[in-house]
């Protein structure tokens, strides 16, 4: 699902910027070894961190599958995992001002669409994230690349949920006593 979200964001940004494939927003490619290749004359989209949202973790082990308000049917399943994806948009152009212009366009895109509701994907909420100078230095050191103009966004509430159930359908749910029976 993470790959689908990143492709969705890349494609949405390219449409917003009026670009056709391969587009202005591209994924970096790996080189043999530990380094990464940031393509020239584009804005590279790079996933730098995945984090579980712990404050809104769902402890409920049952999901509603079908039924009416009077006759609900639940199945036992693993809980959904809310995630934060930290995305780095790296502007690498021969002309520095052109790079800054395109990076500004990325910021304007997210400013105009803080909440994205893609088809067949959970709702995505974008938030500008400003790492400290120390963290920025560590990121560029890990990339083994010279620093370029970049902006980081935290995409929140991406829900990863297993389609697989762990048991039979539960026929009764007693909410007053907290008792659940099969």
Question: Sorting pLDDT into bands at 50, 70 and 90, what band is 122?
Answer: confident
**What mean pLDDT is predicted for residues 9-29?**
87
Phi/psi for 13 (5° steps) reads -65, -40
d(CA 46, CA 68): 44
Topology (CATH) of 2-58+80-162: STM4215-like (3.30.2000)
pLDDT value of position 144: 85
| The two three-digit tokens of residue 177, written as one number | 């006593």
pLDDT at 55: 73
Whether the Cβ atoms of residue 145 and residue 88 lie closer than 8 Å to each other: no
Q: Is the pLDDT of residue 52 over 80?
A: yes
Of 68-72, 77-81, 143-147, 174-178, give the lowest mean pLDDT range.
174-178
Task: Tell if the pTM clears 0.85, that is, is over it.
Answer: no
- pLDDT averaged over every residue in the chain: 81
Residue boundaries of the structural domains of the chain = 2-58+80-162
Please report the pLDDT score of residue 65 as a whole number: 54
Question: CA–CA separation, 154 vs 87, rounded Å?
Answer: 6
The average pLDDT across 94-105 equals 94
What are the pLDDT digits (tens) for 67-97? 666 666 666 666 677 889 999 999 999 999 9
Q: Is it the case that residue 63 has pLDDT exceeding 90? A: no
Q: Which of 146, 153, 150 is nearest to 37 (CA)?
A: 146
């Amino acid at each position: 699902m993470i790959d689908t979200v990143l492709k969705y964001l890349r494609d949405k940004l390219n449409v917003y910027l009026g670009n056709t494939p391969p587009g202005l927003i591209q994924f970096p490619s790996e080189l043999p070894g530990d380094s990464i290749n940031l393509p020239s004359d584009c804005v590279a989209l790079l996933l730098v961190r995945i984090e579980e949202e712990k404050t809104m973790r769902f402890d409920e082990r049952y999901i509603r599958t079908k039924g009416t308000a009077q006759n609900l049917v639940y199945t036992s399943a693993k809980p959904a995992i809310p995630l934060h994806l930290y995305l780095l948009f790296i502007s690498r152009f021969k002309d520095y001002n052109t790079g800054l212009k395109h990076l500004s366009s990325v910021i304007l895109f997210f400013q105009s669409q803080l909440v994205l509701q893609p088809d067949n994907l959970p709702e995505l909420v974008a938030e500008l994230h400003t790492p400290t100078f120390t963290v920025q230095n560590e990121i560029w050191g890990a990339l083994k690349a010279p620093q370029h103009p970049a902006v980081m966004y935290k995409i929140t509430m991406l829900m990863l949920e297993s389609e697989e159930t762990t048991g039979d359908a539960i026929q009764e749910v007693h909410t007053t006593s907290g008792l659940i029976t099969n």
